[in-house]
Structure 1
Amino acid sequence: MDMNNPQDVGAAFGAMILGGAVGEEPPPPDSPLGRVRAFTAEYGEGRLTAEHVRVAIEGRPLLP
Structure 2
Amino acid sequence: MDMNDPQDVGAAFWAQILGFTVSEEPPPPDSALGRVRAFAAEHGEDALRDEHFEAAMEGRPLLRDGTVRTGAPKRVARVAA
Do the two structures share a fold, i.e. TM-score over 0.5?
yes
Give ranges in structure 1 of 5+ residues lacking alignment: none
> 5 Å matches for 1:13-24?
13-24=13-24
Per the normalisation by structure 2, the TM-score is 0.73
Mapped to 1, the partners of 2:21 and 2:37 lie a distance apart of 19
C-alpha distance in structure 1 between counterparts of 2:21 and 2:56, whole Å = 21
Identical-residue share of aligned pairs (%): 72
Deviations 1:9-37 (A, max 9, x none): 01111101101221111000000000000
Query: Which structure shows the bigger proportion of residues in helix conformation?
Result: 1
CA displacement at 1:2 relative to structure 2: 2.4
Q: Please give the TM-score of this superposition, normalised by the length of structure 1.
A: 0.91
CA-based RMSD: 1.0
In structure 2, the partner of 1:43 is 43
- Relative contact order, higher structure (CA 8 A, sep 6+): 1
- Misfit runs of 4+, over 4 Å: none
* Structure 2 residues not aligned, in runs of 5+: 65-81
Instruction: State the alpha-carbon separation in 1 of the partners of residues 21 and 11 from structure 2.
Output: 9
